[in-house]
Amino acid sequence: MKLLAGNSNRPLAEAIGQYLHVPFTRALVRRFADMEVFVEIEENVRGEDMFVIQSTSFPANDHLMELLIIIDALRRSSAKRITAVIPYFGYARQDRKPGPRTPISAKLVANLITQAGASRVLTVDLHAGQIQGFFDIPTDNLYGQPEMVRDIRDYLDNEHLMVVSPDVGGVVRARGLAKRLGADLAIVDKRRERAGESEVMNIIGDVSGRICLLVDDIVDSGGTICNAADALLEKGAKAVYAYATHGVLSGGAVARIRDSQLKSLVITDSIAATEDIRKCSNIRRISIANLLGEAIYRIANEKSVSSLFD
Ligand code: R5P
């Protein structure tokens, strides 16, 4: 196998390389003066099993173009198989038409990756599992929860934990975590009774006196988890912690989380951390490098990937 990384998340790519003890294929991934992406693979890859590591995180379009152009360069260099390793698959939230005359961009992006020449995809905690079906090539969707469970066992007293889904859409994910921890489950149900009225947050489940653990796939503006934390504390929760796989953290999200009532937010390194994130006292990061490294090893050696989660 050979590894190649785009520019979106070098630290994660290097950690994966260390896990696998595989050096990176020499390649030039740079910009022309007008910001067009240019890629040159600097060593022979004919007949190789290639793994391209690139999150399509901010700036999403630039990183997506890098991924597509790297795949195209590998295909034209006669690589035998090309796996797009996409720790964070951007555009995933645009997986349906929210209204008439709107796109399904997640499907478009899946088509672009396939058409560029990817033979398979390896990703982590897709926003919705069904997005796997947008790809007509084999797609492995890894779960970040086992890494979260390890962290929760190290940092929190397991006895009074209540796992909370911050919205109705995340119930399956939260139920999975509650099951792994042997904890109870509560749900934040956001409702706007009438147009123009502000959103009401109802909590399904008794959270009073409990240590609550919000779980989500993405934290973007931070609004969802910070508002959920406020609602839980209002209902008598003792403390609120949050876990999310992908720390998109755009705009003023880091400041919002820093100033929130959350004891901590734990994210993975699927997206490279900014200086602000690294400095934020209540944001902690756990690594999915070993998980991805092991999955790459298993794909390259035709071994089961699903058994990683047995
Ligand atoms: C929504 O369906 C997702 O699972 C996340 O809850 C959402 O993307 C979080 O966004 P924000 O942090 O901007 O509220």
Which of 107, 190, 238, 263 is labelled catalytic?
190
Question: At 190, is the pLDDT very low, low, confident or very high (cuts 50, 70, 90)?
Answer: confident
Distance CA 289, CA 302 (A): 20
* Mean pLDDT value across residues 164-175: 95
Q: Which pLDDT score, from 0 to 100, does residue 201 have? A: 86
Taking residues 43-53, report their average pLDDT.
Answer: 98
280 shares its domain with 165: yes
CATH code of the domain containing 205: 3.40.50.2020
pLDDT confidence of residue 198: 64
CA of 126 to the centre of ligand 1 (A): 13
Which residue range forms the structural domain that includes residue 244? 145-287
Same domain? 107 vs 179: no
Domain count for the chain, please give it. Answer: 2
Q: Are residues 37 and 60 in the same domain?
A: yes
Is 163 found in the same domain as 97? no
Residues 301, 260 within the same domain:
no
**236 touches ligand 1 (CB under 6 Å):** no
- What is the average pLDDT value for the chain, to the nearest integer? 96
Give 147-153's long-range contacts (Cβ < 8 A, gap of 24+). 147/268, 147/286, 147/287, 147/288, 147/291, 148/177, 148/215, 148/243, 148/266, 148/286, 149/177, 149/180, 149/181, 150/286, 151/243, 151/266, 151/286, 152/181, 152/213, 152/243
pLDDT-derived band at 100 (thresholds 50, 70, 90) equals very high
- Predicted TM-score (pTM) of the model is 0.96
Q: Are residues 110 and 149 in the same domain?
A: no
Same domain, 214 and 273: yes
Does 169 sit in the ligand 1 pocket, CB within 6 Å? yes
Strands 37-41 and 27-31, by their bridges, are antiparallel
pLDDT digits (tens, 9 = 90+) for 127-152: 999 999 999 999 999 999 999 999 99
Q: Quick one: pLDDT at residue 196?
A: 66
Question: 191-206 pLDDT, tens per residue?
Answer: 767 766 667 789 999 9
Beta bridge partners of 162: 184, 212
Whether residues 47 and 74 share a domain: the answer is yes
The whole-number pLDDT of residue 166 equals 95
For residues 228 and 299, state if they share a domain: no
Q: Which of 173, 219, 256, 277 to mutate to test the pocket of ligand 1 (most atoms within 8 A of CB)?
A: 219
